[in-house]
Amino acid sequence: MATTWNTNKYANNGYKLLVIAAIATVMFICHNIFKQELFFWAGVVTCVVFFWVVTLAVFAAAEKISQ
């Protein structure tokens, strides 16, 4: 799935800050859930992938609403 979106378009609305904060939150939660080294990286990868799928879906929905 090749999705392209203009970061500058969302930066003015504070989306960039929101995305950074959400990534930091997800990483923090994953770090606490997967404290064991074996599961840590698998948890981080899973959380990041899940987060980006949700984020792209939200941006897609926001664009449809704004049109």
What are 47-62's pLDDT values in tens digits? 788 888 888 888 888 8
What percent of the chain is modeled with pLDDT above 70? 64
Q: Is the residue at 16 inside a domain?
A: yes
Its domain, for residue 40, covers: 8-66
Dihedral sign, CA of 41, 42, 48, 52? Answer: positive
- Asked if residues 47 and 29 have their Cβ atoms less than 8 Å apart, the reply is yes
Three-state DSSP state, 18: helix
List b or e across 35-53, with b for residues whose CB sees 16 or more CB atoms inside 10 angstroms.
Answer: eeeeeeeebbeebeeebee
Q: Does the pLDDT of residue 11 top 70, yes or no? A: no
pTM of the model: 0.39
pLDDT digits (tens, 9 = 90+) for 35-48: 666 666 777 788 78
Q: Is the residue at 60 inside a domain?
A: yes
Q: Is the residue at 1 inside a domain?
A: no
For residue 14, the model assigns a pLDDT of 66
